[in-house]
Amino acid sequence: MAATSDATLDPTVLSIVADLEGHDLNGLRRQWRAHLGGEPPAHLPRWLLIRVLAYRLQSDTFGGLDKSVRRILGSARDNDPTAPFDRRVPQTREGVGLKAGAMLVREWKGKVEQVMILEEGFAWNGQTFGSLSQIAKAMTGTNWNGHRFFGLRQGKTVATAEAGQRRKSRVNPGSIERHGALSGDLLA
């Protein structure tokens, strides 16, 4: 799509795009329906809806990417196995793989909670969630790192305690006796 000379000076589209930041999520959805027609994707958060709507308004008015650029972007994605939007195998930061069909079990407030890992997401209490953090929040009512909550990742306190244990094991036994006797004298 080629841009027309009068479209480059279209103040209407530029003012609409500039005003998007001032709208809440419902206002952005109204803008989408008014200018693009249909319903916007329901899963998009506000910040992303602003960007998609701004791009679509500008590309409809001024023209989108030409065919050669789209072909270059498409071939780069096809040739790069680490393209940013490819699906990844779910895993923790430490590399523990989460395979579909596996069950995570956690006791919370005396009740055993079970989470099934699905191909896309997680199932708990008959509902599907996009992340373990969402399940942990639904379960506890507070924000949690889902991997930490389900024991797939160590928390800072655990890592700090382990580091303290390692430091204690490296302490010279002679210094313990000297300091131990001194602290014993102070307590008596």
pLDDT in tens, 7-52: 455 678 888 899 999 999 999 999 999 988 888 888 878 888 898 8
Residues 176 and 129 in one domain: no
Output DSSP code: residue 153.
S
The C-alpha atoms of residue 45 and residue 48 are separated, in whole angstroms, by 6
Domain, as residue range, for 117: 103-149
In a domain, 155, yes or no: no
In a domain, 83, yes or no: no
pLDDT of residue 176: 43
pLDDT of residue 28: 92
The C-alpha atoms of residue 110 and residue 125 are separated, in whole angstroms, by 16
**Residue 5 pLDDT class (50, 70, 90 cuts):** very low
Average of per-residue pLDDT across 63-82? 73
pLDDT of residue 1: 44
pLDDT of residue 35: 87
**Beta-bridge partners for 116:** 103, 123
* pLDDT exceeds 70 at position 90: no
DSSP H or E segment with residue 186? helix 173-187
Range with lowest mean pLDDT among 18-27, 50-59, 73-82, 178-187: 178-187
Residues 178 and 144 in one domain: no
- Classify 89 as helix, strand or coil: coil
Q: What percent of the chain stands above pLDDT 70?
A: 64
The C-alpha atoms of residue 100 and residue 133 are separated, in whole angstroms, by 17
In a domain, 72, yes or no: yes
* pLDDT exceeds 80 at position 96: no
Residues 74 and 107 in one domain: no
Average of per-residue pLDDT across 121-132? 89
Number of domains in the chain: 3
Question: Helices 46-62 and 11-19, interaxial angle, to 10°?
Answer: 170
Residues 27 and 61 in one domain: yes
Residues 142 and 115 in one domain: yes
pLDDT of residue 6: 47
Residue 28 and residue 20 in contact, taking contact as beta carbons nearer than 8 Å: yes
In a domain, 53, yes or no: yes
pLDDT of residue 147: 84
User: Which pairs with CB-CB distance under 8 Å and at least 24 residues apart come from 12-15?
Assistant: 13/57, 13/58, 13/61, 13/62
In a domain, 68, yes or no: yes
Amino acid at position 18, single letter: A
DSSP H or E segment with residue 118? strand 111-118
**Residue 167 pLDDT class (50, 70, 90 cuts):** low
